[in-house]
Amino acid sequence: MTLLEPSLDFATLTARYRDGTLTVADLVEELDQRIAAAGDDHVWISRVPHQALAARAAALDALDADTRAGLPLFGIPFGIKDNIDAAGLQTTAACPAFAYRPGEDASAVARLQAAGALLIGKTNLDQFATGLVGVRSPYGVARNPFDARYIPGGSSAGSAVAVASGLASFALGTDTAGSGRVPAAFNNLVGLKPTKGLIPLRGVVPACASLDCVSIFALTVDDAQTVLSVAGGSDADDPFSRDGRQAAAIGRAFRFGVPRAPEFFGDALNTALYRRAIPAFEAIGGAAVEFDYAPFLEIAKLLYEGPWVAERMAVVERIYRDRPEAILPVTRAVIGNADKFNAVDAFRAQYRLQELRHATLPLWRTIDVMVLPTAPTIYTVEEVKAEPIALNSRLGHYTNFVNLLDLAALAVPAGFRSDGLPFGVTLIAPAWHDRVLASLGGRFAGRLDLPLGATGHHVPPRPHREAGGGGMMIAVVGAHLSGMPLNHQLTEGGAALIAATRTAPHYRLYEIAGAPPRPGLVRAGNGAGYAIDAELWSVTPALLGALLAATEGPLAIGNVELTDGRWVKGFLCEASATAGARDISEFGGWRRFLAAQH
């Protein structure tokens, strides 16, 4: 692994932007050099032109400190899988004959750019997102940064390699059968497959629209959660978008399911690392519970051996029928299986899936999450080219069932094999348990101290553990925000800004009378809340005590839930003080409310 400077994890970039040792323009030049040095790595299908990228960087650098503080992804570079739309760039789905130029960004891309993120380009993929291998593309095989002889994983191959190689801080992929998780395992990354519908699909070329999820590749669990907090949320123009209430964060003690007889297809190295991961989860409070994996494996086989393969034909049928030569032979063979099934088969498969879903439901009364190998093994490029269908199928052994059962999943690195290749595990839980998975995944990753992707960097020390921090965190939403009238109470007391964040979507914000103007944050019930913009600061116990003493009613310091499921100290308001006060929750934050008044 090569040590690349600077590290592209969010904490490092944010700190360097804040202290003035890096500008977005500097980063653009650095990334250009890195991409050039990578040579013909087959990661990118198209890139944002340098002139446009430089103009975007200049515009970001010109923003004042207050505006920057309101952009949770300020100057963070990212890539997107080339079945996701970005205005001005072709969408190919790795099929040149299918290519079109969209007039607008996909919903998720638009949200990320509005939050200050910097789009670098479109990444390579298995054609029409059909495959878990990353070798089914006319644009070449994205080079595995750990060993070019081995596959990068797919279908979101380019997205994973871009992040692992230090060419982007995060990247979007898509996930139908494991395409947002298998490449994460093969590239030592976090791969977040959210609850279905949590990130809108508008502007995405689907593989199976009823199952697809936009996924996130990132260097850390925290980074992936930050992206999810920005890209997630319902979209009125997306028929597959949906709302749901996130489950509460899990406690220190939890139960995790492991297969009674895990299958690794003879891979002793992966077997050993999975066995090592189990006591690591026990060390953070977990209790292992063995379960029968057979019904989940039967569900997994339904995805490609059943009529769901016909859903892939829905998008590509015209080109498949009229120009079959434009589709790669292996992709054509997989999608062509659609012709084997009829409507009766589809209904029978739905009935069988429902029976299996019903049979697996009791398991969730005995466990909180599953912990599975992300992939049972890994193959070389040549092995997959020689046996493309069977080996691809094996890679989905632990992933194919997840979307069919509407589960959430988080793939995390779990160590390195003796041959230098990475290994990963995946945490799986019912829909809307995304924050639960993040909490556990973060705790697990914190014990291992693995490098970030193939960059040679490690997770930087958390700011609240450094000098000037102090070890306690507090969330502020109003007059203590950066640039606001009371922020000096934090800065003069030696507090350190950790990150811009948001509360969990369970709060309402009110304009409270008094001087200086200030908001009141109140926890709402019955799903009637909003996610409110906040800043997370590290403070000493002495400073927290001073803030407590200086805080007058109706405000108080209590416990506030953040968007990633953590609970920290924060400023809250007595509910009685909101009677007759203006409800400003719909603005999403105090800074946004003030800006709207001018």
Give the residue numbers marked as catalytic: 81, 155, 179
Collapsing DSSP to helix, strand or coil, 593 comes out as helix
Largest CA distance in the chain: 74
Helix or strand (DSSP H, E) at 339: none
Give residues with Cβ within 8 angstroms of 134, minimum separation 6.
Answer: 124, 125, 126, 141, 142, 151, 152, 153, 154, 155, 157, 183
Bridge partner residues of 559 (DSSP): 569
Interaxial angle between packed helices 268-283 and 434-448, expressed in degrees from 0 to 180 and rounded to the nearest 10: 100
Chain-centroid distance, C-alpha 416 = 22
Q: Residue 6, preceding bond cis, omega within 30 degrees?
A: yes
Q: How far, in Å, CA of 464 to CA of 532, rounded?
A: 22
Q: How far, in Å, CA of 547 to CA of 550, rounded?
A: 5
DSSP string, 15-60: HHHHHTS--HHHHHHHHHHHHHHH-S---EEEE--HHHHHHHHHHH
Give residues with Cβ within 8 angstroms of 594, minimum separation 6.
Answer: 517
Quick check: 2 and 456 in contact, CB under 8 A?
Answer: yes
Give residues with Cβ within 8 angstroms of 88, minimum separation 6.
Answer: 48, 52, 101
Which residue matches tokens 């070329």? 205
Q: How far, in Å, CA of 463 to CA of 441, rounded?
A: 20
Residue positions counted in the chain: 598
